[in-house]
Amino acid sequence: MAASRLLGHSSLWLPISRWSRVAALGLHTAGGRMQASQQDFEKAQNDLKTLKKDPGNDVKLKLYALFKQATQGSCNAPKPGMLDFVNKAKWDAWNSLGSLSKDEAKKSYVELVNGLILSEAPAKDTASLSTGQKYDTLQVITEDNITKIFLNRPEKKNAITLQMYKEIGLALDEAAKDDNTVITVLTGHGDYFCSGNDLNNFTNIPPEGKEKMASDSAVILEAFVSKFIDFPKPLIAVINGPAVGISVTILGLFDIVYATDRATFHTPFSQLGQSPEGCSSYTFPRVMGLSKVSICAMYTLGHRLLG
C-alpha cells in the first residue's frame, strides 16, 4: 500500500510536538500523558542505575543536562574555565537547553531513559513478541494488530548496516504475510531515528575490488527499496529523532510520516558526492511540491531541516 498507492494520494507528513500524539500506536509514550509525573521522573532515575551498557558520553551529558534543567531550571551556574574540560562539557550541555521548561525537561529525561532501557531488552523478548524471526539489529513487536519495527542500534545512532538492510526487508515480509498485522510502524530506539548508512558498509572491499562492492550494494539497495514500494498494508514512520541520508529519502514511500519535536532531516548527498536514493527525486516533489523542494535545496545544499 505504501508506494503502490502513492499516485492515488499523497503521503501525509504530520509534525507532532508531543509524544502523546502517537499514544494510540504505543510508541515512546509516558502513559499517554502530556507531561511526566514526579513519580515517572524518580522511576527513570532508578531505572538508569540498572543499565548494563555505558550509553556513551554524549548521552550521559544529555541526561545530566536534562536532570539539571528538570530540577533547577535554566542554567544559572558560572561558566567553567577552558581547561576544566569535564565541567565545561557539562555546563555547555545544560546551557544548550536554554529556556526549556522543567516539565518538558522532565518528560524528555523520562523518554530518553525509557529508550535506553528498551534498547537493552533481551533478544528472547524480541523473539517472543515478534512473528518468530529473530533479529540482531531490530526489535519487532506485534500486538493489537500493529507490528512495530524498531531500529535497534542506539549506540551507533541506528546507522544501517548491510545486515540491517536485509533484516528490515525480512521484517516487512513477515508483517505483510501476518494476518494479525493491520498496520506496520517503523521507528528507532534511542535518541536518533537513523543516522544513515553505517560507514563500514563502504570500507569492507571484497577481493574482487570496488566494482564488485558497488554492484552488490546496488542489488541490496534495490531489494530494500522494493520492500517499501510493494508493501501491501498501511506503513507509518515515526521519526523519533534526527534522520540522515537514506532514512530521509525513503520517507516518501510511507503512507504517513509522524515527526516528533526532536526530529530533524539531513540529506548530505552533494557533500558526499552522491545522488539521493530511495526514489526521493520522484516522490518528494509529488509529496511536497516542486517549489518547497527547491526552497529547501535538499539536493543541492544538503541542509538540515527541522521537523
Pairing state of beta strands 235-239 and 183-188?
Answer: parallel
pTM of the model: 0.58
pLDDT score of 201: 73
Walk me through the domains of the chain, giving residue ranges and CATH numbers: 3-27+122-306 (3.90.226.10), 54-118 (1.20.80.10)
- The share of the chain scoring above pLDDT 90, in percent, equals 45
Strand order in the sheet with 304-306: 243-244, 264-266, 304-306
> What pLDDT band is residue 66 in, cutting at 50, 70 and 90?
very high
- Rounded-to-integer distance, Cα 307 and Cα 302, Å: 15
pLDDT in tens, 205-264: 777 877 887 788 789 889 999 999 999 999 999 999 999 989 998 999 999 999 998 899
Q: Which of 24-28, 105-109, 224-228, 283-287 has the lowest mean pLDDT?
A: 24-28
